[in-house]
Amino acid sequence: MTAEQIIIRPVLTEKSNDGIVAKRYVFMVDVRADKKQVKAAVESVFGVQVESVNVVNVRGKLKRQGRTQGYTSKGKKAYVKLTDASKAIPFFETLS
């Protein structure tokens, strides 16, 4: 998998926005990716130095609409912490 295939999209919530000041970012990543692959992908795409990566499997939620019900898609979140010497990611700096 390439770096562009591993990182699907950033997660933009109130909780994830609170971590931008401390250089903590949240991304939805491919479910087959592990910590080492996520670290390498973030470093190559954004040109930063990653200190640590934590990954969480996200279950699909049960949703109902009338009589019909189903589950939203499952996924994987990656919590990425950058080193103090690393520059911040410019995309997230415009949000805070």
Three-state SS annotation for 10-63: ECCCHHHHHCCCCCEEEEEECCCCCHHHHHHHHHHHHCCCEEEEEEEEECCCEE
Contacts of 71 (CB under 8 A, 6+ apart): 60, 61, 62, 63
Tens of pLDDT along the chain (96 residues) come to 899 999 999 999 999 999 999 999 999 999 999 999 999 999 999 999 999 999 999 999 999 999 999 999 999 999 999 999 999 898 887 875
CA distances in angstroms from 43 to 15, 17, 30, 53, 54, listed in the order given: 23, 20, 16, 12, 15
